[in-house]
Structure 1
Amino acid sequence: MSAAPAAGLPRVSVGVRATRPDRGAIASATAGTAALMRLHLRRDRIRLGVWIVGLIAVTGASANAVQGVYGDAAERAAYASTMDSSPATIAMSGPPVALETTGGITVFETNAVALVGVALMAVFLTVRYTRGEEETGRTELLRAGVLGPRAPLTAAGLLVAAASVLAGAGVAAAFLGLGLPAAGAVLFGAEVAVNGIAFTALSLVCAQALSHARAAAGLAAGLVGAAFAVRAVGDVGGGTLSWFSPIGWAQAAHPFGEDRWWPLALPLLLAAAAVGAAWCLDGIRDVGGSLVAPRRGAASAPRGLANVPAWAFRMQRAAIAGWSAGMVLAGAALGSVGSQVAEMVRGNAQMEKVFGGAEAIVDQYFAMVALLLGLLVAGFAASTVLRLRGEETSGRAEVLLVAGVSRRRWIGGWLAVTAAAAAGLTVCGAVGAAVADALATGDVSQLPRVFCAMLVPLAAVAVVVGLTAALVGFAPRVQYAMWVVVAWAFIVGWFDDLLGLPGWAVDLSPFSWVAQAPAEPMGWGAWLLTLAIGAALTVGGVAGLCRRDLQAQ
């Protein structure tokens, strides 16, 4: 049926066909997607390469180190018996499946790093290519040309999903190169890939919901942490709760065990639903807008904001509050299982001989907890110091300096608040771990000892702050190399014994400069020297940023 045309107007069909999806409209909405993907590749080829190659290298090196450790059936049986009775290890590594095989042990030792790593890659890259591009104004500029309205979202999703697939394929190739069975190796690679695709889609939704890239990335990273925590609690408690976590779905594939492919359909279904939601949300908001409108500020600023440290705290308060709560929870979760580590060893003569008794392995466990909490604080500190560069390139710093604030006050105030926040976060993690351990064991006498041990990595965090400030001050183009330092500190702390790293490589991590308390006696000289190095690097970074020109984009 057609409507009669009016005089001078073309005939317009209003029949059933007008209600069907128009392929031409979809093509128009995604016009320029391929060109935008090439632009992202051109700009971020090094960043993408570091993420993908880094994930493959860390996972592959860890897998390679496992191969010679559990060579015969007796050693594998002893390993399986130990891990099956270790809630702490299951919470960190996942379900203990096929531990009587070399492939199962390899997956158990590496899957947490691979799955969390690919998820974080998906989060940060997806938000960067969506909300980050809108914040800088590049999306609006490109859409003024021939770029379709859905091209930015489509390009970001396809590019990061492809990066996840490449990471999964690389991990599978590394496992195949070690001579592990092909079925399990390919399944584990697919597990890594679909996990990255799922969090890519979830990050697309977060980018539509919030108006700032930092907030969107924080929300998406929080989803990664929540998924890992739900999976950890579920695996320790019987496995039911793990089915409410995307990471739990991926690990349910059980490579080298049952080799189940069907659980991998669940992350893909989640990804499809999230992409559909992101597509719809992208169509109902303006460029630069968001589903959650930013709160309007007061008509007049408080007088306290005239103070640079107060301004810096105001800028960081939301992140500090969120990180403080997270550190307390992380410390409590890790500290509460210290008694279970002792019970795992107590009564086992062979393990007591290896570890030096139940008390010794508890000390080693809390030394690892201190390292993990310190690395988390180091990540917060590095990202916060790097915000100075963001304030500079956005032009906001120039406005502040024109108002009469000196560079030294601006930089010094920001770094002082960052250092104080890092110290506060360390204390939050220490309180959580010490109190949880005291409640779990009923022994309050160990509370001060555990609390003080959690504070030891603070000197290494000071080095991270100083080195980041030095990169921002003297070499802003390579400032993101700071994340290589943090990643290497994690590799050294987590995989040193497994990889057999040489001494000079271990010493590249600032966390190796201080004692691994409470497992090692406290060396105050090394601790104070490490703190002094961090302070000297910070002072140098301030001097470098004061001397060079500001670089606004």
Structure 2
Amino acid sequence: MSQGLEGTGLLLRFALRRDRVLAPAWVLALSGMVLVSAAATGPLYGSEAERVAAAEALNASPAVVALYGPILDTSSLGELSMTKMTVLYAVFVAFMGVVLVRRHTRVEEETGRAEMVGATAVGVHAPTAAALAEAALASLVVGLLAAAGNIVAGLPVAGSVLFGASWTGIGLVGAAIALVAAQVSSSARTVGFLASTAIGALYLLRAVGDTSVSWLSWLTPFGWGTRLSAWSEPRVWLLVGYPLLAVGLTGVALALRRRRDLGAGVLPDRPGPAEGSPRLRDVAALVWREQSAALTGWTIGIAVIGILMGSIIPSIGSMLGTGEAREVIEAMGGVGALQDVLVSALASVIAVVITCYGISAVTRAAGDERDGRTETLLATATSRRGLLVAVAGSALVGATWLLLVSGAATAVGRGEGFDPVGAALVQAPAVWLVLALGLLLLSLRSRWAVAGWALVAACVTLGQVGESLDLPGWLVGLSPYHHVSRYPAEAVAWRPELVLTLLALAALAASWTRYRGRDIG
């Protein structure tokens, strides 16, 4: 094995350079959410009794437990502060590992670059080792920053370090899952689907274990984060499970790799039809066909999240119904007003997640251009105008559809009224503007499209958590999400919605002007 690792360091440096925007965006966004959650939770409760009452109310809701996991020590401020981070946000840490490994393994093989690299003085295992090393490094950094954020926010040092270690571990597991998936299929898209399915299955197994058959939670790494009990009477030995599982999956991946040819997968590709469908002669139909699998998966995922989130809303009053929290509820206008605030807050968070779908559609178009597929397409009767309209439509229309799905699903979960639908749709102009700016980056230069992820991270930091960080008002106002009406807690302010829409149209017009005149590739 060691004889096949020549050039690993060089490939690692190259991977880090390629991901100098993508990886820091993931790391800073995740660790920033930890800091904000840790800093914001403590002031909500004036005494330990109030924290215990809130934790018991959370545990009493099966929907909350299924989504976030149980709070084992109801008196622990750290465990209460990290309720969402321990399980739900750990999923995003796992996906960070998936994105990095897939990008530097299967995507490289699919585009032919891996074969070119392999023709140089590089060991046969070097690309795989470099991809795993980068994912491990990113997982380590996000774990360290998460621990530091908790410590800065005043949580216990020991619990903070153990929590950070669990995040590092789940990142390693996510990377190993992606490595196995990269051996099974020869398609980068299928690799993403397989890895997402595996992570979803592990998360669902944990949800079932936490709400009914408790021993199932011990079988999934997403259950280990809760069972670790990082903040009181910790089971430190559970941390060993993460690297052991990652190493085991890596061993499986390497064994599968020896059974396949470069560029192929263990599962053979199915031959397509001899002639393509007449419907695919139109570039818009082709782009939508490429995005159909992703949009279907996102639709299902957003619907599930919306139903779970909506089912939590009716019980929010009992979760915060003690002491100072009760006074705040009464000052806001009662439990109904608090539910409206929560509907608005949930809609804003889901809107950010949906923006990621649109950015992924834009970056996919950038990848097609870098790999030469766009040039081949434009050599036919396809115009640049038609191509850009198709890409913009897949991003903007797809994101709008997901916003509608999220609102409808939240309304179903809540079981009362259609306010969640309106709360989701008022987010659309902000989402459109961010995606239009992503398209503008694509129109300037295909390689700049990846900066769309940094744009999303910056908007989240400014719009979602900027006020909590006491950032200047003008700086917070740079985020489109900051100007969205907080419906149904407040009446819709149509002027900001119109301004955001006009800015999105202006960015789209600038994109069209630039894309029409620049060189492809």
Common fold by TM > 0.5: yes
2:244 alignment partner in structure 1: 269
Which of these residues, 183, 190, 198, is aligned with residue 208 of structure 1? 183
Q: SS of the residue aligned with 2:93? A: helix
Q: SS of the residue aligned with 1:299? A: coil
CA distance in 1: counterparts of 2:83 and 2:217, whole angstroms: 16
Change (3 A) 1:327 1:96: same
Q: What is the CA deviation profile of residues 273-321 of structure 1, one whole-angstrom value per residue up to 9, with x for unaligned ones?
A: 2111100111111111112333322211222222222222222222222
1:352 alignment partner in structure 2: 329
Which of these residues, 121, 126, 133, is aligned with residue 151 of structure 1? 126
5 Å-filtered alignment, 1:96-495, equals 96-108=71-83, 110-112=85-87, 115-177=90-152, 180-232=155-207, 234-237=209-212, 239-342=214-317, 344=319, 349-350=326-327, 352-438=329-415, 443=416, 446=417, 448-491=418-461, 495=465
Q: Which has the higher contact order (CA 8 A, sep 6+)?
A: 2
CA distance in 1: counterparts of 2:81 and 2:407, whole angstroms: 32
Q: Report the CA distance between 1:264 and its aligned residue.
A: 2.0
2:463, 2:480 within 8 Å by CA — same for their partners in 1?
Answer: no
Change (3 A) 1:204 1:90: same
Which has the larger displacement, 154-163 or 199-208?
A: 154-163
1:8 alignment partner in structure 2: none
2:34, 2:82 within 8 Å by CA — same for their partners in 1?
Answer: no
1:70, 1:102 within 8 Å by CA — same for their partners in 2?
Answer: no
Cα RMSD of the aligned pairs, angstroms, is 2.9
Change (3 A) 1:355 1:291: farther
Which of these residues, 501, 520, 543, is aligned with residue 490 of structure 2? 520
2:506 alignment partner in structure 1: 536
CA distance in 2: counterparts of 1:85 and 1:498, whole angstroms: 29
CA distance in 2: counterparts of 1:74 and 1:343, whole angstroms: 14
1:308, 1:414 within 8 Å by CA — same for their partners in 2?
Answer: no
2:34, 2:150 within 8 Å by CA — same for their partners in 1?
Answer: no
1:511 alignment partner in structure 2: 481
Change (3 A) 1:545 1:226: farther
Q: SS of the residue aligned with 1:280? A: helix
* 1:259 counterpart letter in structure 2: P
CA distance in 2: counterparts of 1:217 and 1:195, whole angstroms: 17
Q: What is the CA deviation profile of residues 305-357 of structure 1, one whole-angstrom value per residue up to 9, with x for unaligned ones?
A: 22222222222222222222222222222223332335546798546325431
CA distance in 2: counterparts of 1:91 and 1:501, whole angstroms: 34
CA distance in 2: counterparts of 1:234 and 1:492, whole angstroms: 37
1:430, 1:454 within 8 Å by CA — same for their partners in 2?
Answer: yes
1:36, 1:155 within 8 Å by CA — same for their partners in 2?
Answer: yes
2:440, 2:508 within 8 Å by CA — same for their partners in 1?
Answer: yes
Change (3 A) 1:212 1:381: same
* 1:286 counterpart letter in structure 2: D
Which has the larger displacement, 264-273 or 335-344?
A: 335-344
2:22, 2:451 within 8 Å by CA — same for their partners in 1?
Answer: no
Which has the larger displacement, 367-376 or 461-470?
A: 367-376
Q: Report the CA distance between 1:42 and its aligned residue.
A: 4.2
1:469, 1:542 within 8 Å by CA — same for their partners in 2?
Answer: no
* 1:473 counterpart letter in structure 2: S
Change (3 A) 1:166 1:374: closer
Query: May I ask how many residue pairs the two structures share in their alignment?
Result: 519
Q: What is the CA deviation profile of residues 356-414 of structure 1, one whole-angstrom value per residue up to 9, with x for unaligned ones?
A: 31211221222123223322321111110222211211111111111122111111123
CA distance in 2: counterparts of 1:229 and 1:468, whole angstroms: 33
Unaligned runs of at least 5 residues, structure 1: 1-25
1:489, 1:511 within 8 Å by CA — same for their partners in 2?
Answer: yes
1:194, 1:250 within 8 Å by CA — same for their partners in 2?
Answer: no
Q: SS of the residue aligned with 2:105? A: helix
Q: Report the CA distance between 1:494 and its aligned residue.
A: 5.2
2:9 alignment partner in structure 1: 34
CA distance in 1: counterparts of 2:55 and 2:487, whole angstroms: 29
Unaligned runs of at least 5 residues, structure 2: none
1:345, 1:351 within 8 Å by CA — same for their partners in 2?
Answer: no
Q: Report the CA distance between 1:116 and its aligned residue.
A: 3.2
Q: SS of the residue aligned with 2:478? A: coil
Q: Report the CA distance between 1:523 and its aligned residue.
A: 2.2
Q: SS of the residue aligned with 1:286? A: coil
Q: Report the CA distance between 1:87 and its aligned residue.
A: 5.1
Change (3 A) 1:272 1:54: same
CA distance in 1: counterparts of 2:117 and 2:135, whole angstroms: 20
1:65, 1:499 within 8 Å by CA — same for their partners in 2?
Answer: no
2:433, 2:507 within 8 Å by CA — same for their partners in 1?
Answer: yes
Change (3 A) 1:60 1:464: same
Q: Report the CA distance between 1:131 and its aligned residue.
A: 0.9
Which has the larger displacement, 205-214 or 283-292?
A: 205-214
Q: Report the CA distance between 1:271 and its aligned residue.
A: 1.3
Calculate percent identity across the aligned residue pairs.
34
User: Greater Rg, structure 1 or structure 2?
Assistant: 1
